[in-house]
Structure 1
């Protein structure tokens, strides 16, 4: 059994053994559990707590009805749960006083799982937008993921802030080629031909179009050469572009070729540079979104990464998309959207403090206080060495 499944069983077993442990798990929700049967059982225990079950007021023996009522309530929402499995959960709990630590393990698994699921949806939306020539879906799911990261940070008890990873995650794309890849390349070449023919058109796009927005690195470097000549106020034609490319070492390293420069400069140069630039930025938005989604999913699938670091690294991975998104908004004459206000529905500070607190030694109930007439296997075992 993997550690996460063991932690889920242990936290449920601790609550079945000691209903008072629920007061130390206010920050844990049923949907943080992976298995549906565990979700249903924890939700049932929460309901019994809210309904004021008599077991919560028991000073000595915990009545057996605490277990049977929880199983009956959970059985209304999930199949296959029996009292036998409930006692299996009791046996799986080494120490009831360690319930907060077990709960943090469950929450940690939920954080990794939730970020992975949202990153997959984000990536799918970016792919769909790239195929359809849109950006709205990718930007919407980017906002959703950003909100999820902020909420998870509050639940974990940390401050959400972008932090770069020590080593960038491997995000080599395994996506199939886009059916619009040819159209994107044509738009880029057409834009460069327009700029070579009408250099003053650079004024329409220079404030928001960047070389990294081009899908083809060679096109991006040629745009950089055009921008340099434009910035220095020098004439722009096939010869000056070729000379600028040579000065930058782009001909020597094979990034550009004289044939490519000739083809673009001798191409048809009539068209709207602003409209073509918007098409280039549009494809850059979806391409950047897909890259960010892959990076975040890679981070979330690393089980060794602590939740706080995972959340902050994921927020950092959204940074490039936020930057190109702001320029996309500028190109379309719309202000960049502000970040959504933090939700007021998150756990209060007391819950965050509980989430951060490790389990502390608490007096264990005597064997007679546990449900049932016979002591559970956990009660029959001697204390483990090194445990309180």
Structure 2
């Protein structure tokens, strides 16, 4: 038999045999039980206890009315519950004094089940937002999942804090990632084209857009090349982009092809880097939310993972979404670039930063020891005079 079902039957059997055990299960809720009939019966037992059932004050053996009244009360909310099943629950309880332990088993199963359910909802919200071009649904569902994890941690008696797992979850992530539409790849190509043809536009996105925000890894590598050129204060165009890609070995290992670079260089369309960047960022938010949801669900489906570790590992799995969300909010809060009315200010990083970045490519002066002696003849002095001239 399923251990979780055995634990649910045992804790209910303990409460039917000894109503006093309910005082040790105040932290357990009816919705922590998996089967609806168990939920209804636990609610009924707690209600009879709170209403002061006569069986609680009776001397001697526990009256049978405690069991029959509990079955009758629960039967008003669920079908199929009989007195015979109540006696089955009583027989399933080895020791009534172990009720808190059985209840903890029920709570442990509820934690795994609840985390998995909310992870599925987050994944569904992320997929829906990806189709609709929104992020609010995924972020709202992620907040709900964080609140659920915090509440479950308090019920379990642990402090909620993100902790990286020592090893990957044993459960396989069988939920496929959201399909990337052609519009996402087109937005990324247009953004790279704008940044290549308008180098000053890098200032609009460099503070919040990262290479990992691109759905196409090749586009992310090209953006990394543009960022490196911008950081060093070097000129940006399709030739320097090609050169930087070659320096990083992207052409040699096949990461970037000449056709892809040509598509970026010839795909220039009028547009705003900030606008295209926010579209790329929006796709990154939903994609990261879906990945976090898959990771959390895989953790929840690992039955060998203790509840405390599950909660803390799940909070850590939501960390990448929190980081992307912070940059998304920065992108939406960033003011539009101001029109310059005074003397133009050089584009790019400060001169000191540019000097440091270019120091490695600056020719070094020849040491004095390597200078030729003054007595050595120069090339002009050693060359014989041309014939026919006096």
> TM (normalized to structure 2)?
0.83
CA contact (8 A) 2:191 2:276 kept: yes
Unaligned runs of 5+ in 1: 336-388
Provide the C-alpha distance between the structure 1 equivalents of 2:172 and 2:2, rounded to a whole number of angstroms: 27
Change (3 A) 1:173 1:112: closer
> Could you tell me how far 1:171 is from its partner in structure 2?
6.3
Residues paired across the two proteins, number = 334
What does 1:161-180 correspond to in 2, within 5 Å?
161-169=161-169, 174-175=175-176, 178=179
The question of whether the paired residues in 1 share the 8 Å contact of 2:125 and 2:137 is answered with: yes
Distance 1:176 1:27 in 2: 37
- Specify the alignment match of 2:199 in structure 1: 199
Taking a change above 3 Å as real, the CA distance of residues 132 and 13 of structure 1, as seen in their structure-2 partners, is: same
CA deviations on 1:151-180 (whole Å, 9 max, x unpaired) are: 0000000000011112234765643763x6
Q: What is residue 51 of structure 1 aligned with on the other side?
A: 51
Aligned residues of 1:16 and 1:67 also touching (Cα < 8 A): yes
Find out whether 1:327 has 2:331 as its counterpart: no
Check 1:214–1:173 CA distance in 2 against 1; reply closer, same or farther (3 A cut): farther
Instruction: For residue 93 of structure 1, give the secondary structure of its aligned residue in structure 2.
Output: coil
State the distance in 2 between where 1:18 and 1:89 align.
13
Give deviations 1:119-178, integer Å, cap 9, x for gaps: 111110100000111111101100010000000000000000011112234765643763
Contact between 2:28 and 2:103, CA under 8 Å: does it hold in 1?
yes
The aligned residue for residue 17 of structure 2 is 17
Distance in structure 2 (CA, Å) of the matches to 1:299 and 1:185: 31
Query: Does residue 1:30 correspond to 2:27, yes or no?
Result: no
| SS class of match (1:332) | helix
RMSD of aligned residue pairs (Cα, Å): 1.6
CA distance in 2, matches of 1:138, 1:4: 31
Secondary structure, counterpart of 1:277 in structure 2: helix
Alignment of structure 1 residues 106-145 onto 2, 5 Å = 106-145=106-145
1:333 & 1:259 partners in 2: Cα distance? 36
1:239, distance to aligned residue in structure 2 (A): 2.0
Tell me, yes or no, if the aligned pair for 2:175 and 2:294 is still in contact at 8 Å.
no
Q: Distance in 1 between matches of 2:235 and 2:35?
A: 67
Query: How far, CA to CA, are the matches of 1:76 and 1:240 in structure 2?
Result: 76
SS at match of 2:125: helix
> CA shift at 1:59, angstroms?
4.6
**Any unmatched runs of 5+ in structure 2?**
336-390
User: Contact 2:189 / 2:219 at 8 angstroms: preserved in 1?
Assistant: yes
Q: Which whole-Å deviations, capped at 9, do the CAs of 1:184-213 have from their partners, x for residues lacking one? A: 000000000000000000000100000000
Change (3 A) 1:78 1:291: same
State yes or no: 1:287 paired with 2:287.
yes
Q: Find the counterpart in structure 2 of residue 248 from structure 1.
A: 248
Q: Tell which structure's C-alpha radius of gyration is larger.
A: 2
**Aligned position for 1:213:** 213
Distance 2:189 2:250 in 1: 17
| Residues 261-282 of structure 1 deviation map (CA, whole Å, 9 limit, x = unaligned) | 1221222142100000000000
Contact 1:30–1:43 (Cα < 8 Å) also in 2: yes
Is residue 83 of structure 2 the alignment partner of residue 67 of structure 1? no
The answer as to 2:151 corresponding to 1:151 is yes
